[in-house]
Structure 1
């Protein structure tokens, strides 16, 4: 059973999303929150698998709450998906960098929402790759967002850098395995080692680092 915390300041939005989630046998909304502070307290008490977090909420907003969740070692297994309208926020890059697992548009199709929650819970792939890659590329392309190499990349082998590029392209472990002609277990091992060497919380942060330190070029496959 995947346990979900739903954080949004609009009651109707929460009700609509909850209705979609609660119809599934393997998903259960364990709590709701109307602001980031309540969401953070609920995370510490309930330890949900996934948090669906609205970016803009009164008081402690979703970005601040996501950063605090990412910084709390007790919540290391909690995956945060930010709910956004895409063209609304210039803070999404910072949210990814701070530990959000990915983004969902508020008008996303129910099937995509369900898929995203399940994928986030197992930590297997970046959520909504087309949306997240576009956001990362936009913000990483700006001069203030880096360009200098990171010494942590020196610890990666040539194959691990290749795998990191494929992660940045939104590939799942199975797709990485097929492209490199290796077993899925080998691909998963490469991904795990990359995350450990970089100190990345999840695949989203690996993608951010790949763009930020120019291992991949924004706007190119």
Structure 2
């Protein structure tokens, strides 16, 4: 089945361009577009897409007052759609923005976005990011992933150090676990840590076994619950 995508951006040319780029991916289908908060919320409820590509700086309509702590229009959509789609067909949000500012990244991740990529991303890479988010992975470019790790690591303080489950992992396994949980591929982890793909696979298997988890999706949820992403 195709991954059903809703494109939310207030610029028509951006929506058209994103739709055209994703059209090249046989397993991705753009099922709708929205240009503002109200139409985005309505489209999510009506279409129940698998992934929403969401402009972070979507403008609020005149007279609208954002939900508590929501801030920008993109965060407002997240605040109002949180939990949309139910358990069997969850709606996942991937932020797509011109901004790579840390404040923007952290704001939408706190509101529930599964990832954040900038509009400089290529069409094939965007399709790959959509696939990974649809599967439950967290997706960030390397620079943006650092913002998330720093922010949530600072919030968690020393709590993770005292986590009995985390203490089962070696230092290298923790490095691999964090990168995999952020949505990196085995090849990307191998390249970043200067180890072989086979070694990455071995570490991932060990991490899953020690934590009694069965998939990357479960690992991402485990790490997110401990604010390790």
TM score, norm. by length of structure 1: 0.72
Give the whole-Å Cα distance in 1 for the aligned partners of 2:25 and 2:17: 14
Question: Residue 55 and residue 139 in structure 1: after superposition, are their counterparts in 2 closer, same or farther (change >3 A)?
Answer: same
Give the whole-Å Cα distance in 2 for the aligned partners of 1:137 and 1:84: 19
Could you say which structure has the larger radius of gyration? 2
Q: What is the correspondence of 1:116-195 to structure 2 with a 5 Å cutoff?
A: 116-123=129-136, 125-140=137-152, 145-149=155-159, 153-154=163-164, 158-159=168-169, 165-170=175-180, 171-172=184-185, 178-180=201-203, 182=205, 189=214, 191=216, 193-194=218-219
Question: Residue 112 and residue 156 in structure 1: after superposition, are their counterparts in 2 closer, same or farther (change >3 A)?
Answer: same
The count of aligned residue pairs is: 201
1:183 Cα deviation after fit = 8.2
1:32 Cα deviation after fit = 0.5
Moved more, 11-20 or 61-70: 61-70
Moved more, 98-107 or 126-135: 126-135
2:42 is aligned with 1:36: no
1:74: which partner in 2?
86
Conserved 8 A contact 1:49-1:78 = yes
1:138 Cα deviation after fit = 4.9
2:63: which partner in 1?
none
Give the whole-Å Cα distance in 1 for the aligned partners of 2:3 and 2:93: 13
Moved more, 108-117 or 76-85: 76-85
Question: Residue 188 and residue 21 in structure 1: after superposition, are their counterparts in 2 closer, same or farther (change >3 A)?
Answer: farther
TM score, norm. by length of structure 2: 0.70
Conserved 8 A contact 1:55-1:83 = yes
Instruction: Decide which of 97, 102, 109 is 1:96's aligned counterpart.
Output: 109
Conserved 8 A contact 1:81-1:102 = yes
- Gaps of at least 5 residues in structure 1 are 212-221
Give the whole-Å Cα distance in 1 for the aligned partners of 2:118 and 2:207: 30
Conserved 8 A contact 1:133-1:169 = no
Give the whole-Å Cα distance in 1 for the aligned partners of 2:52 and 2:152: 25
1:134 Cα deviation after fit = 2.4
Moved more, 42-51 or 7-16: 42-51
Conserved 8 A contact 1:156-1:194 = no
SS at match of 1:32: strand
Conserved 8 A contact 1:40-1:65 = yes
Give the whole-Å Cα distance in 2 for the aligned partners of 1:89 and 1:182: 32
Give the whole-Å Cα distance in 1 for the aligned partners of 2:111 and 2:165: 22
CA offset digits 1:191-210 (Å, max 9, x no partner): 455566x5xxxx7x35x811
